[in-house]
Structure 1
Amino acid sequence: MFSVGKDRLVKYWDADKFELLLTLEGHHADVWCLAVSDCGDFVVTGSHDRSIRRWDRTEEPFFIEKKRRLGEIFEADIDNTFENKHIPKEELPEEGAVALAGKRNLETLTATDSIIDALDVAEVELKRIAEHEDEKARGKVAEFQPNMIMLGLSASDYVLRALSYISTNDLEQTLQKLFSAQALPFSDALKLLSYTKDWTSNPDKVELVCRIVKVLLQIHHSQLISTPSARPVLAVLKEIIYALQ
């Protein structure tokens, strides 16, 4: 589906996954209306800038929005660090503040990359396992070859391993930045939430699970309570976390 608004943007969504696929820029004021053609080949939008624009579908591939937004996050952090270098010295709390901020930005970006990569690798592996089970059910028995990158870990444990390497101070900030900026779609929040149910069996990871669940609930509360597939997971997590307390 498409949406427009006061942000001057035309957005193309995957409504099944709550995922922003593409953002189109072109208007210079609020976009008031849009219409999709009967055949779905183009979209027409009207704006307060007194323009009507037509957006045609092409065969040119595009990057999923989360990749673009990840780049924007990276550039924003670099810009912030650059600007801090030009703050007058009397405004800085101490001489090492800029270096510390730059180091923190770098750590956050590294954590961001590791979370996205882990979720992508785990998703591909789960699809491979499902395909193997289908072939096995049809009588095509073949030995499953796990992904060597995962070091023999399950999909859930592989994602947990990536999150465990992130410092406690950086974890919440990284997750908030990823999901608030929509670098990761709501579908990835659901995957992460489903993994936390498995992690609660490890007593050493209870604090980590609570932090992750708290961030996801803060950012996606309205979507989670309105998504039927999320309710069973939330109910199980509630019982498990209360029992652990």
Structure 2
Amino acid sequence: MVAQRAFGKVWLIGAGPGAADLITVRGARLLADAEVVLYDALVTPEMLALCPQAVLVSVGKRAGQRSMAQIAINEQLVDAARHYSRVVRLKGGDPMLFGRADEELRTLEAHGIAVEVVPGITAALAAAASAKQPLTRRGIARSVAFFTSSNAPDHPEQTTLPACDTLVQYMGGREAIKTARGLLALGHAADTPVLVVENCSRADERIFRLQLSDLEAGLAACTGPVLMMIGAAMAARQPE
């Protein structure tokens, strides 16, 4: 009788916001040793060039587009761990923030598969760095909330907004307009500063400075992934 092969190990690695040189040293080292890499839609070809030895499997999910269901991704991870010793699940940004890590960790743990999480630079921090716009500012903003309007299937739509000095909306392309209208309805000033970063950290990155009242028109030209930062801390610095 042939003994059943033990499972390999899975690493959930944060690829960071997009630029290949913004992945952590640990993440890059593990990519270079991986036998198979299951990667997200926002992972760039330059990032995948760090693991030329690996079998590459696209499991990308993009808002508003047909994509692989999460349950299918979970099954692919388990299957990969059956056939390979070193499996990497490469996620955009940080795995533990809007990265569906909970579902994947639960599945791997249920099968007794060893798993490790390697953090990455989340898009909000990279966007703030690109724009040279701190998310906090002494005397103006001391709290930050990251949120998204995306929900799991069969879950009610999220209608509340965080109460915070600086709001950062992930995956905000289509939902940002709804957010702006909601904030205006709650009494936020029409001239509240908004900073929009499209294709964060990539060669085609674009940064827009807007006000809450003109957000709808300002997003019309955006076609890539959008992150939106709202609040008084987003006001352009004045010369001292």
Q: TM-score, normalised by structure 2?
A: 0.30
Q: Which has the larger radius of gyration?
A: 1
Q: Give the TM-score taking structure 1 as reference length.
A: 0.30
Bigger share in strand: 2
More helix by share: 1
